[in-house]
């Protein structure tokens, strides 16, 4: 079994304002990590401080689901459940929350 390092806010800091490759089971997109936000912690014994990030994708109305994020600064692709929080005919904003 492969042991992966924990996903933390620091994992994504090098990707802020950078383009990443985003893959779903059906398609591949280019996305920009627009916002990386620390969230309030309600559990002092948590493995990591909570955080969220937003990805802007030039694709209309993407569904929620598991997407693979790829970027040269990541040691390996990271699969994350993303939820659309805004969109129109040409763009979708996806959010991930880690708490």
54-86: pLDDT as tens digits: 999 998 889 999 999 999 999 899 999 999 999
Q: How far is CA 25 from CA 35, 55, 63, 98, in A?
A: 25, 18, 11, 22
- Distance between CA atoms of residues 27 and 25, nearest Å: 6
Give 4's pLDDT tier (boundaries 50, 70, 90).
Answer: low
Per-residue model confidence as pLDDT tens digits over 13-43: 999 999 999 999 888 999 999 999 999 988 8
Rounded to whole angstroms, how far apart are CA atoms 28 and 79? 13
Three-state helix/strand/coil letters over 1-31: CCCCCCCCHHHHHHHCCCEEEEECCCCEEEE
């Amino acid at each position: 079994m492969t042991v992966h390092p924990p996903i933390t806010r620091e994992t994504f800091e090098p990707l802020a304002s950078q383009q990443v490759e985003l893959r779903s089971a059906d398609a591949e997109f280019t996305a920009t990590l627009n916002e990386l936000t620390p969230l309030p912690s309600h559990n002092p014994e948590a493995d990591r401080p909570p955080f969220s990030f937003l990805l802007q994708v030039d694709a209309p109305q993407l569904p929620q689901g598991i997407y693979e994020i790829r970027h040269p600064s990541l040691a390996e692709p990271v699969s994350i459940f993303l939820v659309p929080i805004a969109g129109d005919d040409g763009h979708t904003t996806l959010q991930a929350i880690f708490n």
